[in-house]
Amino acid sequence: EVEKAAEQLSAKGITPTIADARFAKPLDRDMILKLAAEHEALITIEEGAVGGFGSHVAQLLADEAVFDKGLKFRSMVLPDTFIDQASPADMYAVAGMNAEQITAKVLDVLGVADLGAQRA
C-alpha cells in the first residue's frame, strides 16, 4: 500500500522517500535523524498498535529537539478496534491504511490536501 501511495503522490508531483524499518529495536537513530533533516515531514506507517515503532520514532525526535526545528510528524497505526476477517484490501481500508488513505494523510500533513479544490 505504501508503494502504491508513493506512485499516487509522484503523479501529483510529490516524491516521497520510503524507508523500510524492518524492526523497532534497536532503532536506527542515524537513518531516522537523517530522514528528519532532509524532509519537511515524516510519517511512520505500521501494521501495529499505538506504542510501537512510530512511538519510538516520536520519542527520538522529541529527545533530539527535531520538532523544535519545524518537522511535521504523524504516525499511522492500526485502530484500537477489532477488524473483521476480509480481503487484505478491505482490511487496510477499514484500518485507514490503504494507498488512498496514506496519500490523503501525506497531502494533509504537507498542507496541500485542498490544493485541487482551491484551483477550481
pLDDT along the chain (120 residues), means of 10: 95 94 85 96 91 94 97 92 84 88 95 61
pLDDT tens profile 20-55: 887 778 999 999 999 999 999 999 999 888 889 999
For the segment(s) 2-112, the CATH number from 3.40.50.920, 3.40.50.620, 3.40.50.150, 3.60.70.12 is: 3.40.50.920
Contacts with 12 (C-beta within 8 Å, 6 or more apart), sequence order = 107
Handedness of CA 68, 71, 76, 77 (dihedral sign): negative
From first CA to last CA, the distance across the chain in angstroms is 29
Q: CB of 110 within 8 A of CB of 14? A: yes
What pLDDT is recorded for position 118?
Answer: 46
Q: What's the grid cell of residue 67?
A: 520538532
What pLDDT is recorded for position 109?
Answer: 96
Residue 109 burial by Cβ neighbours in a 10 Å radius (0-12, 13-18, 19+): middle
Q: For residue 96, which of 46, 51, 36 has the smallest C-alpha distance?
A: 46
